[in-house]
């Protein structure tokens, strides 16, 4: 009853648990799948950090703020960029291996919208998987951390305005009550609310739903980032990412008749910023007329072996085929509103990583800042919980699960409803939004909610968050960052 509960084993959850344990606390760490199931494990790019010669936290901050389209919190950004290097050094101390040059120094890569080369990678495009492997080893070996896989948090328990625990389900759907003075949500993304997403199956917005139901504030949920080029084969979920480096190497975006349509949107064509390309692809993808053509790129399969393996699984090859693409829901900038220590607006609750809204991304995320945010704010949350446990130790009383807390099947009955929700979210609440489309989506989501079978609470939770995103997107009558209204194409000023 004195142990804090950390929920989720992506970079943010693993780091929070480790920090708490390093501060001397016993910790319970639960995750609904296995350690391999997280957005973190899929991260292909790398981590942005200002550590190279000629770079500085101030330059990194300037790029982050420019990407945020006016909505980043400069203080949160300052925390991110100044504390980032120390977290990376600590990560190295825990055994993480980042790619190094012949002289043994870290190699820093350049990415779009970064003014300096500051992206570090592990094993090329396996950064996320390598991070999870390193941190999993640390967490599994730590005597103060109890790791429970296949344990899904269903809801938080609040008494007298304070979180005092959670109801956790095992793989059979049996509920257990866990009393704790502190819950750290590190539940990751919301991509699975959309039909086309790069996020794995665990990214079902659980943290947002759980926190909101308990009374915590969510903020900026309408700001979502869509990756312009995911391989689009109906029924393949998640949609495999076709890295932007392919376009960097000269691949084209074309219609079936070979026209390079991104030039209609921007003179930089395929090399225009991510959101411009995503919008150009979105319009065409709705008609099934968007393809990535890399056939003319010299030795393309040899230069992109990871992507070649990925497309080969679907009978395609970079060297010989046009690859059907669509933009895919990729990253959520908003989330559970927190302060600089990761504390949510509800006492006893912290939120870290992608499920949190710390203020560092504003309306749009600078590429490769999310893994860094996961480290920096998870560390702060761990320290903050540690301080609370030390300075104001509190014992919480036990409680029992409610009769309807278990999960004995009704969610399966809602599978068609979830499919319909995902379809309409991609169509009406995706890359291109209008008043009409959003209003229709809200009505359709309400109809779907009315049809949810009794007891299918996870379906109901997803619909509630989907409706919230649609409502906030309709209320924001402007285009800013990841939120594009075709009927309000400009940003409002002042912010
Ligand atoms: C394909 C892809 C590539 C990316 N590439 C990069 C990149 O190169 N650089 C970068 O900075 N970012 C990248 N991102 C984004 C980045 O990976 C994520 O933002 C980041 O990993 C999120 O970490 P997290 O710890 O917050 O959440 P996650 O890594 O998503 O982990 C969430 C955890 O919570 C668990 N969970 C969820 N709900 C529950 C529940 N109810 N009960 C118990 N457990 C639960 C999940 O199972 C999971 O373990 C990429 C994302 C994707 C999808």
- Whether 33 lines ligand 1, by a CB cut-off of 6 Å, is yes
- Whether 465 lines ligand 1, by a CB cut-off of 6 Å, is no
Using omega within 30 degrees of 0 as the cis cutoff, is the peptide bond preceding 167 cis? no
The predicted structure's pLDDT at residue 156: 98
Q: Do 142 and 236 have their domain in common?
A: no
Angle 293-286-319 (CA atoms, 0-180°, nearest 5)? 15
Q: Do 254 and 313 have their domain in common?
A: yes
Q: How many domains does the chain have?
A: 3
Q: Give the position, in ligand 1's atom list, of the atom nearest the Cα of 189.
A: 30
* CB-CB contact of 338 with 350 (8 Å): yes
* Per-residue pLDDT reduced to its tens digit, 139-160: 999 999 999 999 999 999 999 9
User: Mind spelling out the 3-state secondary structure of the chain?
Assistant: CCCCEEECCCHHHHHHHHHHHHCCCCEEEECCCCCCCCHHHHCCCCEECCCCCCCCHHHHHHHHHHHCCCCCCHHHHHHHHHHHHHHHHHHHHCCCCCCECCCCCECCECCCCCCCCCEECCCCCCHHHHHHHHHHHHHHHCCCEEEECCCEEEEEEEECCEEEEEEEECCCCCEEEEECCCEEECCCCCHHHCCCECCCCCCCCHHHHHHHHHCCCEECCCCEEEEEEEECCCCCCCCCECCHHHHHCCCEEECCCCCCHHHHCCCCHHHCCHHHHHHHHHHHHCCCCCEEECCCCCCHHHHCHHHHHHHHCCCCCCCCCEEEEEEEEEEECCEEEECCCCEECCCCEEECHHHEECCCCCCCCCCCHHHHHHHHHHHHHHHHHHHHHHHCCCCCCCCCCCCCCCCCCHHHHCHHHHHHHHHHHHHHCCCCECHHHHHHHHHHHHHHHHCCCCCCHHHHHHHHHHHHHHHHHHHCCCCECCECECCECCCCCCC
370 located within any domain: yes
How far is 232 from 240, CA to CA, in rounded Å?
A: 8
Angle 490-471-458 (CA atoms, 0-180°, nearest 5)? 135
Q: Do 358 and 432 have their domain in common?
A: no
How far is 415 from 363, CA to CA, in rounded Å?
A: 32
Q: Do 343 and 363 have their domain in common?
A: yes
Q: Give the position, in ligand 1's atom list, of the atom nearest the Cα of 355.
A: 26
400 located within any domain: no
How far is 109 from 114, CA to CA, in rounded Å?
A: 10
Q: Do 170 and 56 have their domain in common?
A: yes
- Token look-up 């995503």 returns 278
Q: Do 252 and 267 have their domain in common?
A: yes
Tokens for 144? 């103060």
How far is 327 from 220, CA to CA, in rounded Å?
A: 21
Cβ-defined contacts of 231-235 (< 8 Å, 24+): 231/310, 231/311, 231/314, 231/316, 231/323, 231/324, 231/325, 232/196, 232/285, 232/290, 232/324, 232/325, 232/326, 232/328, 233/314, 233/324
- Whether 385 lines ligand 1, by a CB cut-off of 6 Å, is no
For 442, the domain range is 410-475
Last residue of a domain, one of 326, 350, 383: 326
Residue partners of 426: CB distance under 8 A and separation at least 6: 194, 195, 196, 329
Residue 192 region by backbone torsions, left for phi larger than 0, else alpha for psi between -120 and 50, else beta: alpha
* Per-residue pLDDT reduced to its tens digit, 460-488: 999 999 999 999 999 999 999 999 999 99
46 located within any domain: yes
Q: How far is the CA of 43 from the centre of ligand 1 (A)?
A: 8
490 located within any domain: no
| Positions of the chain with pLDDT lower than 70, given as ranges | 494-495
155 is catalytic: no
How far is 193 from 462, CA to CA, in rounded Å?
A: 7
Q: Do 286 and 266 have their domain in common?
A: yes
74 located within any domain: yes
Q: Do 217 and 280 have their domain in common?
A: no
309 located within any domain: yes
The predicted structure's pLDDT at residue 271: 86
Q: How far is the CA of 40 from the centre of ligand 1 (A)?
A: 4
Among 337, 401, 447, which Cα is nearest to 155's?
Answer: 401
**Can you give the CATH number for the domain in which 253 is found?**
3.90.700.10
**Can you give the CATH number for the domain in which 47 is found?**
3.50.50.60
Q: Which residue has the least CA distance to atom 3 on ligand 1? A: 43
- Whether 153 lines ligand 1, by a CB cut-off of 6 Å, is yes
* CB-CB contact of 7 with 186 (8 Å): yes
27 located within any domain: yes
Q: Do 80 and 195 have their domain in common?
A: yes
Q: Do 442 and 347 have their domain in common?
A: no
The predicted structure's pLDDT at residue 495: 63
Catalytic residue among 3, 154, 274, 476: 274
Strands of the sheet with 218-219, listed across from one edge:
218-219, 335-337, 356-357
Q: How far is the CA of 39 from the centre of ligand 1 (A)?
A: 3
- Whether 128 lines ligand 1, by a CB cut-off of 6 Å, is yes
Q: Do 212 and 78 have their domain in common?
A: yes
145 located within any domain: yes
Q: Do 93 and 168 have their domain in common?
A: yes
The predicted structure's pLDDT at residue 494: 62
The predicted structure's pLDDT at residue 173: 92
- Whether 197 lines ligand 1, by a CB cut-off of 6 Å, is no
* Per-residue pLDDT reduced to its tens digit, 186-232: 999 999 999 999 999 999 999 999 999 999 999 999 999 999 999 99
């Amino acid at each position: 009853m004195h142990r804090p509960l950390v929920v989720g084993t992506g970079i943010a959850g693993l780091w929070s648990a480790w920090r708490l344990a390093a501060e001397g606390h016993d910790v319970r760490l639960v995750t609904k799948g296995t350690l391999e199931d997280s957005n973190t494990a899929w991260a292909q790019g790398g981590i942005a950090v200002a550590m190279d010669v000629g770079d500085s936290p101030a330059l990194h901050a300037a790029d982050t703020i420019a990407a945020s389209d006016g909505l980043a919190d400069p203080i949160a950004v300052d925390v991110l960029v100044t504390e980032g290097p120390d977290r990376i050094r600590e990560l190295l101390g825990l055994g993480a291996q980042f790619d190094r040059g012949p002289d043994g120094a870290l190699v820093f890569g350049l990415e779009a919208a970064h003014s300096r080369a500051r992206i570090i990678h592990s094993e090329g495009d396996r950064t996320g998987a390598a991070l999870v492997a390193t941190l999993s080893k640390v967490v599994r070996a730590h005597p103060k951390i109890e790791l429970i896989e296949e344990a899904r948090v269903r809801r938080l328990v609040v008494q007298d305005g304070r979180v005092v625990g959670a109801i956790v389900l095992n793989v059979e759907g049996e509920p257990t009550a866990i009393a704790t003075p502190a819950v750290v949500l590190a539940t990751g993304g919301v991509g699975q609310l959309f039909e086309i997403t790069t996020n794995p199956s665990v990214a079902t917005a659980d943290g947002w739903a759980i926190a909101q139901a308990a009374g915590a504030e969510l903020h900026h949920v309408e700001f979502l980032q869509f990756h312009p080029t995911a391989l689009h084969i109906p029924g393949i979920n998640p949609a495999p990412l076709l890295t932007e480096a392919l376009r960097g190497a000269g691949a084209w975006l074309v219609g079936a008749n070979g026209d390079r349509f991104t030039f209609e949107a921007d003179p930089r064509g395929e090399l225009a910023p991510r959101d411009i390309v995503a919008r150009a692809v979105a319009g065409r993808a709705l008609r099934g007329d968007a393809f990535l053509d890399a056939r003319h790129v010299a030795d393309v399969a040899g230069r992109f072996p990871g992507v070649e393996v990925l497309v080969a699984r679907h009978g395609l090859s970079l060297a010989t085929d046009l690859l059907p693409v669509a933009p895919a829901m990729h990253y959520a900038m908003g989330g559970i509103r927190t302060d600089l220590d990761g504390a949510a607006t509800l006492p006893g609750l912290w939120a870290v990583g992608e499920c949190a809204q710390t203020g560092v991304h504003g309306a749009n995320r600078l590429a490769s800042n999310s893994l860094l945010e996961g480290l920096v704010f998870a560390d702060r949350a761990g320290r903050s919980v540690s301080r609370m446990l030390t300075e104001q130790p509190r014992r919480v009383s036990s409680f029992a699960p409610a009769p309807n807390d278990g999960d004995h099947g009704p969610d399966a009955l809602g599978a068609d409803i979830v499919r319909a929700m995902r379809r309409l979210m991609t169509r009406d609440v995706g890359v291109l939004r209008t008043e009409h489309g959003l209003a229709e989506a809200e009505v359709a989501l309400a109809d779907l909610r009315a049809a949810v079978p009794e007891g299918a609470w996870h379906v109901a939770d997803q619909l509630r968050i989907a409706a919230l995103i649609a409502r906030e997107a309709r209320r924001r009558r402007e285009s800013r960052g990841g939120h594009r209204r075709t009927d309000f194409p400009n940003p409002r000023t002042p912010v």
